[in-house]
Amino acid sequence: MAKDVIIALDFESKEKTLAFLDRFTDVKPFVKIGMELFYAEGPDVVRAIKERGHKIFLDLKLHDIPNTVKKAMKVLSSLDVDMTNLHAAGTIAMMEGALEGLTREDGSRAILLAVTQLTSTSEERMQQELLINATMEETVKQYARNAKAAGLPGVVCSPLEAALVKEACGEDFLTVTPGIRFADGDKGDQVRIMTPEKARAASDYIVVGRPITAAEDPVAAYNRCVKEFLG
């Protein structure tokens, strides 16, 4: 399994994003395009970044009725992305529909991941606001098992829960983990976090946004991340 660092391109325009990517002259990092950039620029920005040779994780976190998600995934299947996702909370039926929609006629498809619980959600909020009575660990494990039952190859979860997910769903089940912070860095709004080095044990991919995009020297921050994560 190829482990990698994915940079979250949380910028508001194509111009800013491409200017950021221009700084990477030696490597073509795996990048994540999220809602902000996709809603601002549409599918064109995905094609432009793909043309530059980057692998792309299209992070739109779909969550709707199964038929709507299936049809939306069918549209996304025409974009040449490597990874995309949805919310496991949408149920197994929704995830099955998504997988069907995402699969092209030749049987190929992007890696489809399910978000378990957002890394910005604390157990306390999950229990008090969402009335989920289980612990965060039990909830994440159950959502991961549901994703596996629907035929998905992995989940997006906190690095703190990646080992649990592997335990519940097997070593080959992918864990993609945001909520990564350097030991000497700023937490921001993230709650359930870990350093790249510690994430190494159970994460297949780490998703890193602000610790790289807001760094004074993003290329150096990316290289530090790769070094800490891949060893």
Which amino acids are annotated catalytic?
A: 61
Count of other CB atoms within 10 angstroms of residue 125:
14
The binding track of 20-39 with respect to ligand C5P, each residue x by CB under 6 A or -, is --------------x-----
C-alpha span between 111 and 98 (Å, rounded): 11
Strand pairing of 174-177 and 154-156?
A: parallel
Instruction: Look at phi and psi of residue 10 and say left if phi exceeds 0, alpha if psi is from -120 to 50, else beta.
Output: beta
**Is residue 194 at the binding interface for ligand C5P, with CB under 6 A as the rule?**
no
CB of residue 120 vs ligand C5P: minimum separation in angstroms?
6
Written as one letter, the residue type at 173 is F
Give the residue from 59, 68, 71 showing the smallest Cα distance to 35.
59
Query: Which stretches within 52-91 are classed as H helix?
Result: 66-76
Q: Is position 8 an interface residue for ligand C5P (rule: CB under 6 A)?
A: yes
Residue selected from 72, 112, 169, 208 as contacting ligand C5P according to rule CB under 6 A = 208
Which stretch, 50-58, 63-71, 132-140, 206-214, contacts ligand C5P (CB under 6 A)?
206-214
Are the C-beta atoms of 45 and 32 separated by less than 8 Å?
no
Residues 51-110 that bind ligand C5P (CB under 6 A): 59
Question: If binding is defined by CB under 6 A, does position 196 make contact with ligand C5P?
Answer: no
Cα–Cα distance, 106 to 211 (Å, whole number): 39
Judged by CB under 6 A, the chain residues 128 through 167 that form the site for ligand C5P are 156
CA dihedral 138, 141, 144, 149 (to 10 degrees): -90
Tell which residue, 119, 120, 118, 101, has the closest CA to residue 110.
101
Size of the site for ligand C5P (CB under 6 A): 17
**Mask 99-118, x = binds ligand C5P (CB under 6 A)?**
----------------x--x
Nearest approach, Cβ of residue 192 and ligand C5P (Å):
9
Q: Using CB under 6 A, which of 62, 114, 207, 221 touches ligand C5P?
A: 207
Which one, 118 or 144, has the nearer CB to ligand C5P? 118
Q: Which residues bind ligand C5P (CB under 6 A)?
A: 8, 10, 34, 59, 115, 118-119, 156, 178-179, 188, 190, 207-211
